[in-house]
Amino acid sequence: MKVLVPVKRVVDYNVKVRVKSDGSGVDIANVKMSMNPFDEIALEEATRLKEAGKVTEVVAVSVGVSQCQETLRTGMAIGADRGILVETSGETEPLAVAKIMKALADKEQPQLIILGKQAIDDDSNQTGQMLAALLGWPQATFASKVVLEDGKVTVTREVDGGLETVALTLPAIVTTDLRLNEPRYVTLPNIMKAKKKPLETVKPEDLGVDVSPRLKTLKVTEPAKRSAGVKVPDVATLVQKLRTEAKVI
């Protein structure tokens, strides 16, 4: 069984994001980049399924600039057998990524696609659902537990009311939540092995996909800074301030 795992190169979650002075976007010059944490969880889950003998091959896929090769190498150090880079020049929207993944799924014929529920840069939470619609495959989002057996994948997913368990017939799409697993640390021997694993580079045109943007960002601004809180001596003063200053009562 083959599993595809899309991985995205994003600004590292420990980095404080800065908006460009002209408001055209986020400044990523000389900023540490890393694999999207949710995608790292997805790749860890695929690797564990392979180690358990449920999966025979794990293929990591990234869509973006040439530097995404570093992200794919990290993915192969975690456990992916090979990588595919779909090289694009600029930011790729979720629908375009879903179309690229559909084209790769038609080519690679995987039985399962596991991806992070969202990327921490745009927080769209759209690619997995769009991909399921394009392929016509069943989907289970926000997975906190994945069990693969007898041609089915059973997924425990987190919903507003608690937990929901669904059984999907393969092929299927699964998007991962934070509590699914804890990704392993990448060791130096595995990093060295990853350098020898195959990495294929293709263009969207090779897959017959149009990635031209359908949305235009007009302006990016930082959130308004919150003013400092004020301590009040008693309840009467609090009520007065809520009525006269905050005007909420």
Residue type for position 73? R
Average pLDDT over residues 101-110: 94
pLDDT of residue 202: 92
pLDDT at residue 199 greater than cutoff 90: yes
Q: Write the pLDDT tens digit of every residue in 155-179.
A: 999 888 889 999 999 999 999 999 8
pLDDT at residue 50 greater than cutoff 90: yes
pLDDT of residue 162: 87
H-helix segments, the chain: 37-51, 68-78, 94-108, 127-135, 188-194, 235-244
Average pLDDT, the chain: 91
Banded model confidence at residue 5, pLDDT cuts 50, 70, 90: very high
Q: What is the pTM of this model?
A: 0.84
Average pLDDT over residues 194-222: 89
Helix or strand or coil: residue 157?
strand
pLDDT at residue 114 greater than cutoff 80: yes
pLDDT of residue 218: 87
Burial of 249 (0-12, 13-18, 19+ CB in 10 A): exposed
Domains annotated on the chain, with CATH = 2-244 (3.40.50.620)
pLDDT at residue 19 greater than cutoff 90: no
pLDDT at residue 248 greater than cutoff 90: no
Share of residues in the chain with pLDDT > 90 (%): 63
Instruction: Say how far apart CA 136 and CA 212 lie, in whole Å.
Output: 24
pLDDT of residue 217: 84
Burial of 227 (0-12, 13-18, 19+ CB in 10 A): exposed
